[in-house]
Structure 1
Amino acid sequence: MERLIQDVLSAMVTYETGSPKRIQHFIKVYTFSKLIGLREGLDPQTQLILETTAAVHDIGIRKSLEVYGSYTGKTQEELGPAEADALLTSIGFPREIIDRVCWIVGHHHTYTDIQGLDYQILVEADFLVNLYEKDEGVEAQRAAYEKIFRTETGRQLCRDHFPAVCQT
């Protein structure tokens, strides 16, 4: 498992050559995803899916920029799965892992009907990083805390990052 994760992280750094902001982003989302998953006690296969998804979750951005000249959450969901599939296949990931990772990549900007702890934790980690990177204000932090964060570890990390979410 650890070798597959090392390979996907290295492949993603290469894939995102020239975009340190995107590299820094996925590394942070990966780190928080791993931490939350481990603290929440995921089984090894779900943890592998989570960590892999965290590494590739925004893989659709580069393709969206090529195809559309810009990107949105929806264009990432549209174009990301095929990019993730190709990258993970080239590394030698099992098909059942690739399928789940690609499904989450294709839905990771959809926050309704979140199915599975792997998907939930990825969304929480991405929010945690985006709230910081985009310098979101207290109201956005509080709204995310109330509407997005469901795991105890994710909620604690959000409170630790943004203490004002707990103040009235």
Structure 2
Amino acid sequence: MENNTLLARLLDDVIAYDGPNAHRIAHLIKVHGYARAIGLLEALDETTQVTLEAAAIVHDIGIKICEEKYDGRSSGNLQEKEGPRIARELLSNLGFPESVIDRVAFLVGHHHTYHDIQGLDYQILVESDFLVNLQEHQSDIQTIKHTYAQIFRTESGKRFCSMQFGL
């Protein structure tokens, strides 16, 4: 199956999984949009681009099970614990290559870990999630500037952050 079709089917499955939760679905759509654009602008190879986009689609897949298992809690560390198994299952059911599944599971299991970021897919996923979270949380300009300095490394991510928040 062609990569864009696989990604579209994954998105369809995740929307079904997360529904009915308009906020969570809108969040993943926005993160995926930024990740896709940044990955293309940073000229990722095709496998890394597909891996990044799949990870962006499923990055918060652990929230629902966390809320059920942990009395409504879904902190980053709990998401990193519970999300990879569900991500693996979704990608496996669609026939993604095992190497992509392994990397996506790793990214889901680390997307709230901001030290020792290795790989452009990991970096771009983190930047994309921050672009959306800073906006959704209506972060103040000091928080945005601090995050920009500490997190953003890609030229495209820096540009998007600067343009979005007027830095």
TM range (shorter): over 0.9
Runs of at least 4 residues of structure 1 off by over 2 A?
Answer: none
CA distance in structure 2 between the partners assigned to 1:53 and 1:15 by the alignment? 15
Say whether 1:79 aligns with 2:82.
yes
Partner of 1:158: 161
Alignment deviations for residues 108-139 of structure 1 (CA, whole Å, 9 cap, x no partner): 00000001000000000000000000001001
Say whether 1:118 aligns with 2:102.
no
Cα RMSD between the aligned structures? 0.6
Say whether 1:22 aligns with 2:24.
yes
Structure 1 residue 88 displacement after superposition: 0.9
Which of 66, 82, 101 pairs up with 1:64?
Answer: 66
Report the TM-score when normalising by structure 1: 0.96
Structure 1 residue 81 displacement after superposition: 0.2
Partner of 2:49: 47
Structure 1 residue 66 displacement after superposition: 1.0
Partner of 2:15: 13
Say whether 1:131 aligns with 2:122.
no
Percent identity among equivalent residues?
A: 48
Structure 1 residue 157 displacement after superposition: 0.2
- Structure 1 stretches of 5 or more lacking a match? none
Matches within 5 A, 1:95-110: 95-110=98-113
Report the TM-score when normalising by structure 2: 0.97
Alignment deviations for residues 31-58 of structure 1 (CA, whole Å, 9 cap, x no partner): 0000000000000000000000000000
More moved, 89-98 vs 33-42: 89-98
Count of aligned positions: 164
CA distance in structure 1 between the partners assigned to 2:68 and 2:95 by the alignment? 26
- Structure 2 stretches of 5 or more lacking a match? none
